[in-house]
Structures are given as structure tokens and as C-alpha cells.
Structure 1
Amino acid sequence: MKRKLVIATLTAAVLVGGGAYTAVAVSGDDAPRTTSTGAVADEDGGRDDDRGDDRDDARDERDDRDDRDRAAPAGGVTAAQAAAAALGKTPGTVESVDLDDDGHWEVEVLGRDDREHELTVDTSDGTVRVTGKDDDSDDSDDAGDRKALRDARTDAGEAIAAALKAHPDAQVTSVDFDDDGSDHWEVELHDDRELHVDARTAAVSAD
């Protein structure tokens, strides 16, 4: 009689509740035995969702790391070495150094002829090529920019050195002189951090 009562109660719970429940089954010796059922599928589904989220997070982190690796110079020629190589080809003052997507450093040099020269430096072997020259630099604003660059106490190589001293584990992917307001160098690192290096004091601050 007790067994039939429990089975009937259990059946009613399944039909009405449809969710998690705990049933007490009575064995032949009347010893209660507790069993749990229900909501297993939901819990498993939750665990599956968590695992999916973890996989998405790991994939996003891997993609971010790949982007940083692609931004860093693969061949070993650093921004400072690219600047020095460009000056060896075209003496003057480096205005900017930028890593492009083709494995080259793009370097702009204000030459001794008062013209802006564009050069590329291969990241794998340091090969330098002259790619262009600005023959129209007579504008008064350009003249002011050129004077500010030449008067800067901190040059591009020193700005790079200051940034790396503040962030020893980083790689510089871009350095550019900016005379808008206060003269400084804008330095970008491989992880997209941007720094300001004062052109007078070489003090480093976050952008």
C-alpha cells in the first residue's frame, strides 16, 4: 500500500511540476531511500554554455596575441635601427618612423637640403630605399615645423630609447614628431599603447 502511494505521488509530481524534484522511495523493508532527478539537462546545458564562453574567450585572446605579434617587427630590425639606417642613406633629422603591413619601416627624414625625404627600411635585413622627396616645402607653416623639429633636444632615437626604458618589455612600432601645442614625440608600442615623450626633457607619459 505504501509503495503504491509513493508511485502515485511521484507520477503526480512529474505531471504537474515538470522540473526538479526529490522522491522518497520505500523499499520492501520500509527503509527510505532518497533519489534526485530533474534539471540535469539544464545543468549540463549550462556547463556546455560555460565551456563555449571559455573557448570564445581563449580564441579572442589568441587573436589579440596574433595581432600584437604581427605588429612587432618580424625580421629583428628595430625602429631605432631603422632610423639610423635611414640617416645613413639620407643625412638629416628623422621626423617619423612607422611599421607598415608589408614588413618595412617607413621613415621620413628632414634632409640637410631642407626637404622631406621618404625612405623604407626592410625589417629583415635593413635594406634602405629612397621612395620619394618633397620638393615643395616653402610654406611658412612647414618652415615652422621644420625649425621645431631641428630645435628639439630629443631626437627620434632618443625618444625611442626613453619609451623603452619606461617599458622594457615593449616594442616600438611608431614614433612621430608633433609640434602641435607642446613639442613632443608620439610613440606607439606593439600592444597599441601610446606614449608622449617630451621633446625637451625626454620625459615619458601616457597618451
Structure 2
Amino acid sequence: MDHEQRRRELAAAVWRVISRDGLDAASVRAVAAESGWSTGAIRHYFSTQTELLTFAAQLMMERVPERIRVHLGDASLTPFDRVIAVLEELLPLDEERRIEVLVFVAIADRSRLARGLDAARDAAWNGTRYLCRLAVAGLRGLPAPDELTGPLDDPDLEARAGRLHVIVDGLSLQALMYPRQMPPAAVRETLTTALREITR
């Protein structure tokens, strides 16, 4: 097994531990037990818990763009349905995405105290804001933003992208914390309605 595959296995073990037991439980010892590796083997790749959590967060943020690229390249979708499909990748609508959102929220909260995690937190915010800008601009027939972190030229459209970002984050937390009140169908309906209102 190659070096990168081993690191990915460890990241997956981190996600499982956090999802099941919470972030505080994601120690090197717990991840070793989850993955079947020795603590010494894990420390060969990650010398601290923060390094391990940072890698797990970064790998997670690589998975989402991979799925998004599939939707962006799907010529069978209308522009509106394509935007919905892209934004839904950020929402906990199935077990895979539920774990992703849960892990991200836990790591974002920990980043207030562990400075090594703030880069992953900020990258996730920038990525979501970019997708919201892409959605608003695309549905107006405008080109995608040139830069990941730069605002849209039109202040009104930038404000709309900001509103959409808040809605996406709010839906993520509501669906994660209140799955009975906000099941996937309700999340999808709310997102669709909000997107129509924001981009009309």
C-alpha cells in the first residue's frame, strides 16, 4: 500500500471516530484502535493530533469538489438544476455528507483554540462562498468569478451570494442538528425556494 493510501485510510478512521464519539475522542490512540494500526505507525505520518485533524479536514474538502465537478460537467441538467445539485453537495442529505458536515463543524469549532486548524476552516468558508457566487452569477448568465476569494463586481449580486451562503450554512446545521424536523426533502425544498427568490 502506498504512502498516500495509508494517509487516506487514517483520515477515514478519524472521520468515523469524530462522527461516532465526537472530536475530543479523536486522539491518536483512538484512531489507532479504529484503524487497526499502532500509535507508532500513526505518528510516523502525523506527529500531533492537530496534524491528523488538519489532514482529515483537507482530504474531506478535496472530496466535495470532485463530486461538484461531475455536476458541472453534466450537460443533461438545466442551469438551475445544476446549481441545486452543486449546492446540495454541501448539505447533509445522506450519510456520507452528514459525516462530512459533522466533522467540519467539529473542526471549525476546535479551530478557535487550535491555530493549526484555522486554515482548513477558512478554506471551507471561501469554497462555499465561491460556489454561492458561482450560483448567483451563473443563473444571471454571467461568467464564473475569476478568483476563489474575490467578490463579484456587482454589489447587489455579491449581497445575494452572501445571503445564499447564510442559507446553505443554516440548512446544513438545521439538517444536522434537527434531522426529524428538517429531513432531506424539506432541506431540498427550502434550498430550491430560497435560490429562486435570491436569483429572480
Q: How high is the TM-score relative to the length of structure 2? A: 0.24
User: Of Structure 1 and Structure 2, which has the larger fraction of its residues in strand?
Assistant: 1
Question: Which structure has the bigger radius of gyration?
Answer: 1
Larger relative contact order (Cα-Cα within 8 Å, sequence gap ≥ 6):
2
Greater percentage in helix: 2
TM-score with structure 1 setting the length: 0.23
